[in-house]
Amino acid sequence: MNKTKNLKILSFITIFSFLLIGCNGKLPGGDARKNSPDPAERVKKNLEEGRGFKIMDLGKQKGGVFEFASSNELWRASLDIIDFMPLTSVNYSGGIIITDWYSNDQNSNESIKITIRFLTNEIRSDALNIKVFTRRCETSLIDCKYLESNDVLVSELKKEILKKATIYKKQNLEKPKNNMWSSNPEAK
């Protein structure tokens, strides 16, 4: 009986010490040389760094800060240029747009699929990696040939996307900023 009690206490202490140490190998608490002795300042600093919580924020979901996709001119321009095509996968955080196979009424035996990968948010020619795949079928979808090519279409798409993104960027720069903290009472 005494042995089981000692084993329980030992396991409790072990688990408790692992919880205290955590993943970083340090005990909780801070270095007194780096932290203010004033609790109000420590609380303020922790809240600014995203540590801790406020009672009013309990129901809110906490997460990273992400810029909404509509503010990215390249992203918007790309979606606008290929808006006639059905989309298979669109992942803003992953920076990729993949269309489904598309064919026009003129040639139903040939269809294309476009993949646009965003390498940077800056509007420049090397910001996009565009691939166009062509599927040519003889009689049915079973006997098809798949080709990655069409350099002419890739360069045309890139040119149109960059042109439209530049227009969006210019429009965003011309928009008046609504600054509620401005000293100008008419801006509020």
Quote the CA–CA distance of 32 and 127 in Å, as a whole number: 47
What pLDDT shows up at residue 25? 52
What pLDDT shows up at residue 50? 61
Domain ranges of the chain: 2-56, 69-174
Which of 18, 36, 17, 127 has the alpha carbon at shortest distance from 78? Answer: 127
The pTM score is 0.56
Residue-wise pLDDT for 100-151, tens only, equals: 999 887 777 889 999 999 998 889 989 999 999 998 888 777 788 888 877 8
- The topology under which CATH files domain 69-174 is TATA-Binding Protein (3.30.310)
Quote the CA–CA distance of 78 and 80 in Å, as a whole number: 5
What pLDDT shows up at residue 173? 83
DSSP code of residue 54: -
What pLDDT shows up at residue 12? 75
Residue given tokens 């995203």 in the structure block: 50
Phi/psi for 130 (5° steps) reads -110, 130
Cβ-defined contacts of 104-110 (< 8 Å, 24+)? 109/136, 109/137, 109/138, 110/134, 110/135, 110/136, 110/137
What pLDDT shows up at residue 4? 78
Question: Exposed/middle/buried for 108, CB within 10 Å: 0-12, 13-18, 19+?
Answer: exposed
Q: With contact defined as beta carbons under 8 Å apart, do 95 and 118 qualify?
A: yes
DSSP code of residue 78: H
What pLDDT shows up at residue 138? 82
Dmax over CA atoms of the chain, in Å, equals 87
Q: With contact defined as beta carbons under 8 Å apart, do 125 and 158 qualify?
A: yes
What pLDDT shows up at residue 65? 45
Quote the CA–CA distance of 17 and 14 in Å, as a whole number: 5
Per-block mean pLDDT, blocks of 10 residues, the chain (188 long) = 75 70 54 72 70 55 51 89 92 90 83 92 90 86 81 92 93 70 49
